[in-house]
Amino acid sequence: MSFKDLGVNAVLTKVLHTSGIEKPFPIQKATLPDAIAGKDILGRGQTGSGKTLAFGLALMTRLAGRTAASMRPLALVLSPTRELAMQISDVIAPLSRSVNLNSQVVAGGLSYSKQIQALKRGVPIVVATPGRLIDLIQKKHIKLDDIEITVLDEADQMADMGFLPDVKRILD
């Protein structure tokens, strides 16, 4: 089975091929068709199993070529730490550019003003930590009204770290 067979955008499949990624991992086979169709997915897997690429390909296929209004992203990926948010961005950014999408990491320890500037320009995909996202919501630098896709990456770790109340607040 190929990425194309799973419903992944043709431009993305070409970029994957050029990058030497020919066959989907098991988690990608199991989740991509339903995720691309907009269904809720719960995926578990070891580090390196292809989870990030699975949710990244699904959201990029669904949003390919779309634009976001100022401060109103279309997709939100929540992660427990800045380091993980940056890793997620490193995986999805090169692929997202191929389908005219851009993304922004929103996390503490990174330039606040650069994050706000990017949000004001309009960023379809935001990869965020709960604390910084809530801060930006409270200061009215971001609105989540247009979010169509939400990914909770490492949800168990977010719960273990005490972020569950923040995550609930963001999702409500």
- For residue 5, is it within any domain? no
CB–CB of 33/81 below 8 Å? no
Number of domain units in the chain: 1
Q: Is residue 153 part of a domain?
A: yes
In a domain, 56, yes or no: yes
Q: What is the pLDDT of residues 128-170, one digit of tens each?
A: 999 999 999 999 999 999 999 999 999 999 999 999 999 999 9
For 6, which DSSP code?
T
Q: What is the pLDDT of residue 74?
A: 98
Work out the average pLDDT over 71-100: 96
Q: Hey, what are 33's tokens?
A: 């068709």
Q: Is residue 1 part of a domain?
A: no
Q: Mean pLDDT of all residues in the chain?
A: 95
Domain membership of residue 156 (yes or no) is: yes
Q: Which two tokens stand for residue 83?
A: 């380091």
**H or E segment and range at residue 34:** helix 26-36
Give 1's strand partners. Answer: none
pLDDT of residue 60: 97
| Residue whose tokens read 């971001």 | 142
pLDDT above 90 (res 45): no
For residue 46, pLDDT over 90 is answered with: no
Q: pLDDT tens digits, residue range 5-42? A: 999 999 999 999 999 999 999 999 999 999 999 999 99
Please check whether residue 3 lies inside any domain of the structure.
no
Supply the range of the domain harboring residue 141. 10-171
Residue 134, domain member (yes or no): yes
- Give me the numbers of helices (H) and strands (E) for the chain, helices first please: 8, 4
| CATH for 157 | 3.40.50.300
Tell me, yes or no, whether 4 lies in a domain: no
pTM of the model: 0.94
